[in-house]
Structure formats: structure tokens, C-alpha cells
Amino acid sequence: MILNLDPNFKPASGTEIAFKAFTFSGGEPHIKIEAFDTTQKVTVTHRLNSFNDFGLFITAIDALRNMGAKTIEAVIPYFPAARQDRLMIPGEPLTVKVYARILNSLNLDKVYVFDAHSEVTPALVENCEVIPNHEFIADVLKQVPSVSKLVSPDGGALKKIYKVSTFLGGMDVVECSKNRDVKTGRLSGFKVFADDLSGADCLIVDDICDGGATFIGLAEALKAKGAGKLYLAVSHGIFSKGVENLTQIFDTTFTTNSFRDISENGVVQLPIKKLIINS
């Protein structure tokens, strides 16, 4: 049985549970779930783009428990606050731990997360299973077969990109780095650790694209080292500053529908439904 809280996002196949969701005038999310066979496993899916989305999710779990559901799993492709996984300066919260504590209190049997930002999320979330980006990148490469090199934008992405490379049979990896001011967030010092890319078409792979400054700066550094066509593949496309700056630099930007739906020239969105378990 499936409870898809976002009607436009259905990453798991199965019999859907009917419900009505709304928000009270005071801002509180509420849900009314119609009767179903509570002896069956229930998978709840949602895109958590705000704390109100999270509020609807946790109230839905409570409603299911009140109806007698015993086995409940969750599909949360983009885990909220996953980037807030360390304390950088005094006065900041460890936000991913806040979300994890609330989630753990629901006693879910399984929590599926797609391409977690770091190893912190699965370490904090109980019964968490991370779905890697391997199949997503393989699908991207089918659309751009000329790509001969995968590009890691920084040290934080290295471990994951080498796992992708292994999955693909040992594809070449170009390592890169950047500097970030922890107080201002400003980026500088983009470096490409390759002497000459000799016109090779490259695919930058990362988990999240927010404003896009990392990839714009990196693209300039790659071109300075002789890169050919540049492509970008990000599992979670937030695109808080739009995609125009990206489409001016990259031949194509690829993403999934884990965070939101997008329809823009120069952006190809691949649904993640094939990557999620059936229920």
C-alpha cells in the first residue's frame, strides 16, 4: 500500500491509499486518511521541501498508527537539512540531527533516502537505506555517450564518484577542489587536478545543485584545462537561482524529480520511480 503525500510525486508502485490533506488557518497541516487494509505494509512518500511538508509527513504517520497500521516505511528522496551535518561556527544548530531525532521517534521500519549528501544522514536516521545515484548517472550517460570523464567538484564528492566509476566499469575521474568561506559561503580557488583534458567531454556529478556557484566556477576551471563539452548531473535540483546561468555554460543539465518538478530548456529531468522499491 502506498501513501503518496505529493500527488505529483509517485516514486513507488502499488495500491494507493486515498486521503485529503489541508492546512488549518493557523498554518497547521492536517490529513484525513480513508480506510484501507492495515494488515499490509504501508510506504509513505513525500518531497520534504519545507518544515510544513515535514509536518504533513509526521502527522500522516501518526494517523496511520491510529488506524492500526503495523509496518510503515518511508521514501524521503531529498533528506532535509542534509547539508547542515556539522557545526562550522558557534551559534548554529546541527539541523540534520534535529530532523533525524523527530523521524526516529516515529519508529519507522525503513527509511529510503536517495543519494544522501554525506554519511551523517544514514548514521543518524534509524533503519535508513541509501539508494545510490549509480543508475541515475548510467541513464544520463546513455543520453550523452560522448562523455569520457566524470568530474568530482570537491573532496566531499570523491568517495561517491569513485563508486559510480566502479559501477560503470572504471570510467576516468577528474578530481577538483574549491575553497569556501564558512562565514560568508563565498567560493574561490577552483582547481582541476589534470594537466590537459585535450577536448574531452566531461560530466560533473554531485548530489545537490542549489544556487549553482560551485558548478559555474568549476566549469571555468575545466575549460581552462582544455575540456570539451560540459554536462552537469545533480541528483537533487533545487536551483534556487534558476537555471539560466547553468544553461549558458553546460550543454545539458540533468537532474531527478526528488526535490521538485522542473521544465526548462537545457534541463533534462529523469524520474526516480525506477530507483525506488515497489510496495
Answer with the one of 131, 158, 187 that is the final residue of a domain.
Answer: 131
End residue of a domain, out of 64, 96, 131: 131
Closest Cα partner for 80 from 256, 208, 240, 213?
208
pLDDT in tens, 167-188: 999 999 999 998 876 666 777 7
pLDDT for residue 279: 44
What mean pLDDT, rounded, does the chain reach?
93
171 and 116 in a single domain? The answer is: no
Average pLDDT over residues 116-139: 96
Rounded Cα–Cα distance for residues 128 and 80 (Å): 14
Q: Is the pLDDT of residue 266 over 90?
A: yes
Could you tell me if 65 and 78 lie in one domain? yes
Residues 243 and 156 in one domain: yes
- List the domain range (segments joined by +) for residue 198: 134-275
For residues 6 and 124, state if they share a domain.
yes
64 and 34 assigned to the same domain:
yes
101, 131, 161 - which closes a domain: 131
Q: Which pLDDT does position 178 carry in this prediction?
A: 83
**Strands, E, within the chain: which ranges?**
2-4, 19-23, 29-33, 42-45, 72-75, 110-114, 128-131, 149-152, 172-180, 187-192, 202-209, 230-237, 252-256, 267-270
54 and 179 belong to one structural domain: no
Respond yes or no: is residue 191 known to be catalytic. Answer: no
The pLDDT of 88-95, averaged and rounded, is 92
d(CA 274, CA 259): 16
Q: Does residue 279 contact residue 73 with C-beta atoms inside 8 Å?
A: yes
How many helices and strands (H and E) does the chain possess? 7, 14
pLDDT digits (tens, 9 = 90+) for 201-252: 999 999 999 999 999 999 999 999 999 999 999 999 999 999 999 999 999 9
Catalytic position from the list 110, 178, 191, 273: 178
Both 140 and 126 in one domain: the answer is no
pLDDT band at 277 (very low <50, low <70, confident <90, very high): low
Mean pLDDT confidence for 114-143:
96
Q: Are residues 127 and 33 in the same domain?
A: yes
Q: From CA 127, how far away is CA 110, in angstroms rounded?
A: 5
- Mark whether 110 and 74 lie in a shared domain: yes
Check residues 12 and 16 and name the one with the higher pLDDT.
Answer: 16
CATH number at residue 28: 3.40.50.2020
Tens of pLDDT along 57-90? 999 999 999 999 999 999 999 999 999 999 888 8
- pLDDT the model gives residue 167: 97
State mean pLDDT over 32-55.
96
